[in-house]
Amino acid sequence: MSILQYAGYSREGAPAKVTQTTFCCLNILLTVNKTEKPASIITSSFYLCCLNTCAMSFLDELNPVQRQAVTTVNGPVLVIAGPGSGKTRVLTYRIAHLLQQGVPARHILALTFTNKSAREMKERIEKVVGVSARQLWAGTFHSIFARILRMEADKIGYPASFTIYDTDDTLSVIRSIIKEMNLDPAVYNPSAVRSRISICKSNLISPPLYRQHAEMLQQDRTAKRPFIVEIYERYVARCYRSGAMDFDDLLYQLFRLFQQNPDNVVERYRDKFRYLHVDEFQDTNHLQYAILRQLLKYDGSPRNVFVVGDDAQSIYAFRGATIDNILDFEKDFPDLQTFKLEQNYRSTHHIVSAANEVISHNKRQLHKTIWTEREDRDKIRLVKCLTDDEEGRRVADMILEQKHRYHIPNNEIAILYRTNAQSRKFEEHLRRLNLLYRVYGGMSFYQRKEVKDFVAYLRLAVNPKDEEALRRVINLPTRGISDATVEKLSAKAGASESTMWDAMTDWNLEVTDRAKKSLTNFRKMVEEWSSRAQTEPASKLAADILRRSGLGEMLKGDTSPEGIGRRENVDAVLDAISEFTDNQTLSPEEDTSAANSLAAYLQTISLLTDADEKADDGEYITLMSVHAAKGLEYRSIFVTGMEEGLFPSTMSFEDPNGLDEERRLFYVAITRAKEYLTLCYAQNRYRFGQIKVSAPSRFLEEIDQSHFTAAGGFGSARLSNTGIQPVSTGARVTGNFTQNRLRTTNATKPAETPANFQASPESEIKPGQTILHLKFGEGVVKSIEGPKDNRVASICFKNDSMPERRIVLKFAKLQIQE
DNA sequence: GTTTCGCATCTTTTT
DNA sequence: GATGCGAAAC
């Protein structure tokens, strides 16, 4: 690549924008060199000097091993990176380095674990090398592969607008098949069947191979579930007829595509992706690795592949991830260059030592020793609680205390737990103290019922064969199509090996005239959308669908607070579609038609998790599962529910490798902490609606007690017989103390939670008043409507993107302003 | 054909 | 403690 290109001039010679960062570098250089030339007339040679320095400067930020890894550009590279060792930085700078070496961005592929980390990586690269990074393909395995499949779908018999079935859709298909086959759902547990099918796909066992697979068949017989293979067959056939792929299909079908089209497809992608990068390699499964091999292993391949991972952080074995991939990688690429990043830049000494001690109990691992230069702040706090409620209360209190004493902002604090269900108690207590928080991993926006309903209509417009979408909305709002009719349709479709969509036009269908009429109307309506989808902009069509389907009416009719929320959620989908179609960046080879953009939107959202939704813009405390915390870091971490049976989970006891995986999970949890780590456990916890008594987690005993705070403690509170004394902390703070804390913390964010906030009685809120809302700030009440016991105010907030918000007074806390 | 209520069922983690 | 399913009432 030429210097000019690097500086923001494209290959064609047209001047593009010089990035701000480049300018920054220039300016710094100008100052340093005492050159008085303005940036606009700098000569190429000066640029050269400048750019080299620029390049140097980011390589200078790396330690010797990191730098070596980054600058090893050719051939296969494996980086074993301990927690906090600058893994992301190495990956980012490696790509930046490639771009700087003249590798065009379109030849670089980066596969990350979440959409969010892909986005962050792209942004960081762009900061270093400028807009040329935009052409980079970076995303999750699933999203990148979906993108390829969309372009090549016809070659394996799928429509480009194929639907992606999420776990719910998949389960519902399986349930329906089990029913259709008259099997007992208690024996054929749909989730168990689903995961078995998923394992098959991840290991490239297609239904015909399953039929020949003596071991799998034997397993099924022993489990008294001999018909799984038939369910699998029907499931695959049904998905195919519906033009649908499940999550595993996105990988499996891509593998098939590549396998069946060695000349016209694989070759193109081999040529396109000349530099492959894989983040979190330890969490890839066999199938993902097989696809990587397809792209890498062939005669004359440059084999430029750069994978980063840590076997100690492998926590997705349940999804088929296997450490064998790292071992196979070494076998498949004998000239592999391996780098170990062992210096931890994230955490203090106590935390790193504790992590090392814990992980040393695992049997099978690649040897490495993580060390840190970071000085200790506090020791690790161990907190014993009587109940889960006390745990919630004390964590909330400790957060308040830490905020006050160490001035830790909310977005540097996270509460982690093994299961999502544990979030509830923390939410209650954080709310009690007026602390802002966000729960990740619960229900994401796109999983809400009303959103799924609307999305199902959109799916149908793009792909009428989508059976799950059809079933979902065919009688919503009710239009006289009963379950019986739907079942008849389904049976017809099954018998003729076609779809329910086709069965609707079958006049031999034995249903009432009324039902027939409804079906015809419904089909007409969808057909019309379907044809309009070819030409009309996605957002306009979507708005029409909301109206015509009757869904909009239905939601409008519900004036309950929840109903209004639902209506807002559906409107938010419309906004999201506009935003998506406006900002979509596609490469030239991709179809940009209206129909395709709606399909692309639908495919994208089914791969979103709520962790991807919004950047951590606000001042929120984070609540999430340990799994979701992977790759993240916070100054203060609370790992909660450290009890036998919960963490490690009871489910892990049966599997011989289960405990090791749980231990790795715990390792991931504690290494998220930069400075403060608190571990909590409760003796009694509500599960099943009943109190369950449990012992402290065995993992706690694997940490040397010298890392725990020795001070304080309830006299008798001892952790088993190790002599570790859990400390007493904020649990005993007085009400007064808490009040003071509240004011202090709130004082940092006056606009949102003023210290003297006091909600006015609901009855006193009247139109025309200026009011204060804890979240939205100051606003003017425009109007109030609804029955006396459920009044809804339309309020226009001063600093808000929405022109007006509808607030249910029964729940809202508003303070009338003078 | 539609709605509502009560019963039973399970709870790990996620793309 | 939520969610799904079946039965009974509308």
pLDDT, mean over chain A = 82
Higher pLDDT, A746 or A30: A30
Please report, rounded to a whole number, the percentage of residues in chain A having pLDDT higher than 70: 82
Alpha helices in A109-206 (DSSP H): 115-129, 141-152, 167-180, 190-202
A178-205 pLDDT, tens digit per residue, is: 888 888 888 888 888 998 999 999 999 9
Residue A548 Cβ under 7 A from any strand B atom: no
Nucleotides of B under 7 A from a protein CB: 1-3, 10-15
Residue A483 Cβ under 7 A from any strand C atom: no
Nearest residue: Cα versus C1' of C1: A689
The pLDDT of A399-423, averaged and rounded, is: 93
The whole-number Å distance from A399's CA to C2's C1' is: 29
The pLDDT of residue A440 is: 86
Nucleotides of C under 7 A from a protein CB: 1, 5
Q: Is the model's pLDDT at A210 over the cut of 60?
A: yes
Residue A114 Cβ under 7 A from any strand B atom: yes
Please report, rounded to a whole number, the percentage of residues in chain A having pLDDT higher than 90: 47
Residue A191 Cβ under 7 A from any strand B atom: yes
- In this prediction, residue A369 has a pLDDT band, given cuts at 50, 70 and 90, of confident
The pLDDT of residue A235 is: 93
Instruction: Pick out residues 417-436 of chain A having their CB under 7 A from any atom of nucleic acid strand C.
Output: 424
Say how far apart CA A664 and CA A157 lie, in whole Å: 41
Q: Is the model's pLDDT at A275 over the cut of 80?
A: yes
Residue A424 Cβ under 7 A from any strand B atom: no
Q: How far apart are the first and last CA of chain A?
A: 64
The whole-number Å distance from A443's CA to B5's C1' is: 26
Q: How many CA atoms lie within 13 A of A62 on its CB side?
A: 24
Say how far apart CA A698 and CA A644 lie, in whole Å: 7
Tokens for A219, please give them: 């397993």
Residue A211 Cβ under 7 A from any strand B atom: no
A12-68 pLDDT, tens digit per residue, is: 333 333 343 444 444 344 333 333 333 443 444 444 444 555 555 778 889 999 999
Q: With beta carbons less than 8 A apart as the criterion, state whether A362 and A657 touch.
A: no
The pLDDT of residue A96 is: 93
- In this prediction, residue A485 has a pLDDT band, given cuts at 50, 70 and 90, of confident
- In this prediction, residue A367 has a pLDDT band, given cuts at 50, 70 and 90, of confident
The whole-number Å distance from A177's CA to C5's C1' is: 17
A550-578 pLDDT, tens digit per residue, is: 888 888 887 777 788 888 889 999 999 99
Residue A485 Cβ under 7 A from any strand B atom: yes
Q: Indicate the pTM of the whole model.
A: 0.80
DSSP A611-666: HHHS-S-S--EEEEETGGGTT--EEEEEE---BTBBTTBGGGGTSTTHHHHHHHHH
Stretch among A103-112, A326-335, A456-465, A588-597 having the lowest mean pLDDT: A588-597
Say how far apart CA A312 and CA A663 lie, in whole Å: 9
The whole-number Å distance from A447's CA to B7's C1' is: 26
> Catalytic residues of A, which ones?
87-88, 279-280, 313, 672
Q: How many CA atoms lie within 13 A of A220 on its CB side?
A: 22
Q: Are strands A770-773 and A777-785 parallel, antiparallel or unpaired?
A: antiparallel
The whole-number Å distance from A176's CA to C1's C1' is: 27
Q: Is the model's pLDDT at A1 over the cut of 50?
A: no
The pLDDT of residue A564 is: 84
The whole-number Å distance from A689's CA to C3's C1' is: 15
Say how far apart CA A155 and CA A167 lie, in whole Å: 26
* CB-CB neighbours of A459 under 10 Å: 28
Q: Tell me which range, A17-31, A212-226, A626-640, A727-741, is most confidently predicted by mean pLDDT.
A: A626-640
